[in-house]
Amino acid sequence: MKEFAGKKVVVVGLARTGVATARFLLERGASVLITDQKPANQLESGVRQLRDLPAQITQRLTTELGGHRSASFLHSDLVVLSPGVPMDLEPVKAAVEAGIEVISEVELAFRFLKGKIIGITGTNGKTTTTELIGHIFRTLGYKTLVAGNIGEALIGVVDRADEETWIVTELSSFQLEAIKTFRCHISILLNITPDHLDRHASMEQYREAKARIFMNQTLEDWAVLNAGDPEVQSIARQLVAHAVTKPLYFSTKPYQGNGFVLHGEWISYRREGELVPMIRKSDIPLFGNHNLENVMAALAVCLIRMMDPSRVVKAIRSFAVPEHRLEYCGKIRGLDVYNDSKATNLDACIQALESFEAPVLAILGGRNKGLDFRLLRPAVSRRVKQVLAIGESAEAIQEALGDLAPVERCDTMQMAVEQGFLLGRPGDVLLLSPACASFDMFQDYQHRGRIFKEEINRMREEQEPSAAAR
Helices (H), 256-324: 290-304, 309-317
Residue 470 has pLDDT above 50, yes or no: no
Cα separation, 127 vs 120, whole angstroms = 8
Cα separation, 273 vs 257, whole angstroms = 8
Per-residue pLDDT at 321: 80
Q: Exposed (0-12), middle (13-18) or buried (19+): which is 156, by Cβ within 10 Å? A: buried
Dihedral of the alpha carbons of 246, 248, 117, 22, in degrees to the nearest 10: 100
Tell me which residue of 329, 312, 324, 208 sits closest to 269, measured CA to CA. 312
Mean pLDDT computed over 394-412: 96
Secondary-structure class of domain 327-469 per CATH: alpha beta
Chain mean pLDDT for the chain: 92
Residue 246 has pLDDT above 60, yes or no: yes
% of the chain exceeding 70 in pLDDT: 97
State whether the Cα torsion 55-160-104-230 is positive or negative: negative
Cα separation, 155 vs 142, whole angstroms = 21
Residue 396 contacts by C-beta under 8 Å, 6 or more apart in sequence? 368, 373
pLDDT in tens, 354-398: 989 999 999 999 998 888 999 999 999 999 999 999 999 999 999
Beta-bridge partner residues of 430: 337, 361
Per-residue pLDDT at 469: 40
pTM (2 decimals)?
0.82
pLDDT in tens, 285-316: 988 788 999 999 999 999 999 999 999 999 99
At the topology level of CATH, where does 8-99 sit? Rossmann fold (3.40.50)
Q: How confident is the model at residue 70 (pLDDT cuts 50, 70, 90)?
A: very high
- Whether CATH 3.40.1190.10 fits 107-317: yes
Per-residue pLDDT at 201: 57
Q: Are strands 8-12 and 78-81 parallel, antiparallel or unpaired?
A: parallel
Per-residue pLDDT at 331: 94
Cα separation, 77 vs 457, whole angstroms = 51
pLDDT in tens, 320-357: 888 898 899 999 999 999 999 999 999 889 989 998 99
Q: How confident is the model at residue 199 (pLDDT cuts 50, 70, 90)?
A: low
Instruction: Please report, for the chain, the start and end positions of each structural domain, with discontinuous segments joined by +.
Output: 8-99, 107-317, 327-469
